[in-house]
Chains A and B, each alone.
Chain A
């Protein structure tokens, strides 16, 4: 009986590998990344790259297990949803008002610990943010907003 369950599980695992996850490709547009559009200080840039860019950019680094179902489904949907809400690589295309909205939300969510999603730092320890990191991001969002309004 136990063997049967094991076989069934293994079978399912193999079968779902053939279900396409619809993994979103990276399609960077030259010159439109936030780093090319605004002043992003080095320490802020490091945090953005380490903790945000794997879902919120066109520079996603997919690890090997992101190709294995069912993890691939989760990763694909996170990246798709992440980019929909904010794509740092397509910063130039975001209307000014939306930029101000997004910056406010970045500050709020990072300050409150809602972002990065708690599951992410498990496999990406470099994305674990300290209290100082969070404050750094919050202050940068305020500065960047003022800069945009000038």
Chain B
């Protein structure tokens, strides 16, 4: 009798571990590769201080919102996100933003060289990573 219970336990144990093994292996490829898009702290600070006031869903201007919504970046399709990141690095490199006219009124929004460089490097690296 004891032998029977032992055999049963062993078989059951084997079976359970086998199903666990199989399900683990079949589930893996089904899991969608989650590409969680996160903005590093220091980049986010630059965004918050220099860009966000015009480029968020609740901002006033229409044109700035059409071009870029920072708070919507994580919801974009991969293709669009790469496109936007490329635009960000281009704009940062050329210091096209914030607009000159705006800076005449609010000079405190001017991107420093370091900030522009950081934004551009981050955007380039992030989009490179997404294309792999």
Residues on A close to B: CB < 8 A?
A: 96-98, 100-105, 108, 112, 142, 145-146, 148-149
Contacts and interface: CB of A to CB of B under 8 A. Distances in A.
Given A97-B127, A97-B131, A98-B86, A148 B79 contact: yes
A132 to B, nearest CB: 21
Nearest to A103: B83
B66 A100 contact: no
Contacts of B66: 108, 112
B86 A101 contact: yes
Residue of B84, B85, B87 with most chain A CB atoms under a 10 A cut-off: B87
Contact of A149 (B78, B85, B86, B87): B78
Interface string B99-132: 0000000000000000000000000000100010
By size class, the interface of chain B is 10 to 19
Contacts of A100: 79-80, 82-83, 86
Interface string B73-91: 0000111101111110010
Contacts of A148: 79
A62 to B, nearest CB: 30
22 contacts: A96-B131, A97-B85, A97-B131, A98-B86, A100-B79, A100-B82, A101-B83, A101-B90, A103-B79, A103-B83, A104-B80, A104-B83, A104-B87, A108-B66, A108-B67, A142-B77, A145-B77, A145-B80, A146-B77, A146-B79, A149-B78, A149-B79
A145 B79 contact: yes
What is the interface of chain B mostly: helix, strand, loop, or mixed? helix
A97 B127 CA distance: 8
Contacts of B67: 108
Given A100-B82, A101-B87, A149-B82, 13 more contacts: A97-B82, A97-B83, A97-B85, A100-B80, A101-B83, A101-B84, A101-B86, A103-B83, A104-B87, A112-B66, A145-B77, A149-B78, A149-B131
Contacts of A97: 82-83, 85-86, 127, 131
A114 to B, nearest CB: 9
B131 A104 contact: no
Nearest to A97: B86
A103 B83 CA distance: 8
Nearest to B130: A149
